[in-house]
Copies of this chain bind each other. A is one copy, B any other.
Amino acid sequence: MKDFENHDSAPNKDLCDGFCPSNGNVEKLKEKVLEVAGLSEIFKVLGDETRTKILYLLSEQRLCVCDIAVILDMSLPAVSHHLRLLKAFRLVKYAREGKMVYYTLDDDHIINLIREAQDHFAEGR
């Protein structure tokens, strides 16, 4: 018999032994935590140095794949791989021009996240 919807999750029933003062808030906090569910997906994207750099570069100007490869001193397939992921997240878009494929930012909000992270370091962390 499954009891997934129970108030206390079965596997952790013995934890804390009911003495923790925050026990009364557990249900409330379980709901609260849903507000950030899925949020880490964007952070995962930015959690790679190369991808953060690519997005930052593209916020300056459009660039073709080999430009990025030269600037970041990486192989073409490596860069292309990251661009593919950024594309999947709708953070960049591309336009083919002859042999070259030019990438541009497709999200004007992502740069705010990067700036916010810069502020974080600026505040002495």
Residues of A within 8 A of B (CB): 8-9, 11-12, 15-16, 20, 22-23, 25-26, 29-30, 32-33, 35-40, 42-44, 46-49, 51-53, 56-57, 60-61, 63-64, 66-67, 69-74, 76, 90, 100, 107, 109-110, 112-114, 116-121, 123, 125
Chain B residues contacting A57 (CB-CB under 8 Å) are 29, 32-33
B113 touches A113 (CB 8 A): yes
A9 touches B113 (CB 8 A): no
Chain B residues contacting A33 (CB-CB under 8 Å) are 53, 56-57, 71-72
Assembly stoichiometry (copies): 2
The answer to whether residues A109 and B119 also contact, given A43-B47, A53-B33, A67-B22 and a CB cut-off of 8 A, is yes
Report the bound CA distance from A49 to B15 in whole Å: 22
Chain B residues contacting A39 (CB-CB under 8 Å) are 46, 49, 52, 114, 117-118, 121
